[in-house]
Copies of this chain bind each other. A is one copy, B any other.
Amino acid sequence: MEVIDQHRSIRKYKDDPVPQEILDKILNAAIRASNTGNMQMYSIIVTTDKDIKKELSPCHFNQPMVNQAPVILTFCADINRFSKWCELRGAKPEYDNFLWFLNGMTDAILASGNAALEAETHGLGICYLGTTLYTAEKICDILELPQGVVPVTTLVVGYPDGTPELTDRLPLEGVIHKNKYREYTDQNIEDIWKEKENSEETGKLIEINGLPNLARVFTDKRYTGKDNQAFSDSYMAVLKKQGFLK
């Protein structure tokens, strides 16, 4: 599908707002996604207010696109709405556990994927903000997420200022497995990463970072063990605080 083949993350946006009619199409596409038991255990926070975007910006490490892009969509796992409905009907909701975090997260992520593609068919650009997982507690505060609601990902949406190159991917055969998983040999690993490691972009990255190879750029600079552990602990704590780990 062309819109899938042409996807690139957009990190620079024009000032132009997203017309309400198109925003509604994006949100309606989001809720058409498959979801667990058709229970729709997610919520989407649509932030267009400049002051609130400014508050969210540090949660996303002050990447300029958070203030630049006209729309920020924060996708949350949400057992709160469904549980409230159960209680009103004399049914006993017991969704305050890890399974329903995972179900709600799955549904929220699928909704975000639909939203992203729908946005792109209307000439908009998007970027996912993985920082959502790092600073979830602060995002809960700013967006006033109650018990039973936790953010899982964020999309910025707006009109692209420029068209970046498509990013590369590992060769398909490096990522798929026929029938069962086949463990990778050293030679498999060499073959899978060969093209990426030999690209001009990788050469520049290694030089800028003063490191011997691309793997070290990831482990020493971009996603360090210390950060990975700290963010693992903080997200687990948020799950507990928001009521998903009974």
Q: Which residues of A contact B (CB under 8 A)?
A: 1, 3-5, 7, 9, 24, 27-29, 31-34, 36-40, 42-49, 52, 76, 80-82, 84-86, 88-95, 97-100, 102-103, 105-106, 109-110, 112-114, 116-118, 121, 126-128, 130, 133, 142-146, 149, 152-153, 167-170, 172, 174-181, 183-184, 186, 189-190, 192-193, 212-216, 218-220, 222-225, 228-229, 231-233, 235-236, 246
Contact B215 A89 (CB under 8 A): yes
Question: Nearest-CB distance from A148 to chain B (Å)?
Answer: 11
A184 to B85, CA, bound (A): 10
Q: Which chain B positions have C-beta within 8 A of A82? A: 218
Q: Which chain B positions have C-beta within 8 A of A113? A: 33, 109-110, 113-114
Identical copies in the complex:
2
Contact B29 A175 (CB under 8 A): no
* A91 in contact with B179 given A1-B29, A32-B7, A85-B189 (CB within 8 Å): no
Contact A169 B114 (CB under 8 A): no
Q: Which chain B positions have C-beta within 8 A of A220? A: 91
Q: 9 pairs across A/B with beta carbons < 8 Å? A: A7-B33, A40-B169, A42-B175, A52-B179, A86-B218, A88-B190, A113-B114, A144-B181, A229-B246
A37 to B170, CA, bound (A): 13
**A-B contacts besides A97-B228, A109-B113, 11 pairs, CB < 8 Å:** A33-B113, A37-B130, A39-B223, A42-B175, A43-B176, A44-B176, A85-B192, A106-B152, A109-B109, A113-B113, A113-B114
Q: Which chain B positions have C-beta within 8 A of A128? A: 34
Contact of A232 among B88, B99, B186, B224 (CB under 8 A): B99
Q: Which chain B positions have C-beta within 8 A of A149? A: 181
A55 to chain B: closest residue by CB: B180
Contact of A172 among B31, B37, B88, B152 (CB under 8 A): B31
Q: Which chain B positions have C-beta within 8 A of A93? A: 219
